[in-house]
Amino acid sequence: MTPNIHLSPRLIVPDPDRASAFYQVALGAEQVFSAPRSDDDCRPSVIELRVGESSFRISPAVSSWGWLSPDDLGGSAVLLEVEVDDPDAVGERMIAHGAAVVVSIENRPYGRRSGRIRDSFGHLWIITGELR
């Protein structure tokens, strides 16, 4: 029997509020939860975003906890893959809001239209969808 498991990646970023705004505009994410850090609280802030049926969280870097952003690490060790109806439109929105193309979005020989984008926080995204 498989246990009931829900996986929620947490992206570590320099500025969670700015990152939340970016993901809302670029990916159409909806902010569903926010727990800001208070001055007397040792816990970092967390923002939860939902995209379609998936969710992820973002928090600030806290080096003493080992929570490092891609810039702290010299790059991202993870690829986030998002399947969308229109990869080109999502890629264009990400780029318009500060992301950079790593591999252009185009039809691939394995039967998908995809490419790779580095968001302005250093996280790498595979944007993929049906062939055009």
Reported as a single tens digit per residue, the pLDDT across 64-98 is: 989 999 999 999 999 999 999 999 999 999 999 99
In this predicted structure, the answer to whether residue 42 has a pLDDT above a threshold of 70 is: no
Residue 109 is predicted with a pLDDT of: 96
Residue 114 is predicted with a pLDDT of: 98
Residue 36 is predicted with a pLDDT of: 75
Can you list the pairs that 72-76 forms with residues at least 24 positions away whose Cβ atoms lie under 8 Å? 75/122, 76/118, 76/122, 76/123, 76/124
Q: What is the torsional sign of CA 120, 75, 83, 60?
A: negative
Percent of the chain with pLDDT over 90: 83
- Residue 50 CA neighbour count, 13 Å, CB half: 7
Q: What value does the mean pLDDT take over residues 107-114?
A: 97
Q: Mean pLDDT of all residues in the chain?
A: 92
Q: What value does the mean pLDDT take over residues 3-12?
A: 89
Q: What is the pLDDT of residues 118-131, one digit of tens each?
A: 999 999 999 999 99
C-alpha closest to that of 37 among 6, 13, 19, 60: 60
Asked if the 10-129 domain carries CATH number 3.20.20.70, the reply is no
Residue 4 is predicted with a pLDDT of: 84
Q: In this structure, are residues 84 and 90 in contact, taking their beta carbons and an 8 Å threshold?
A: yes
Residue 39 is predicted with a pLDDT of: 65
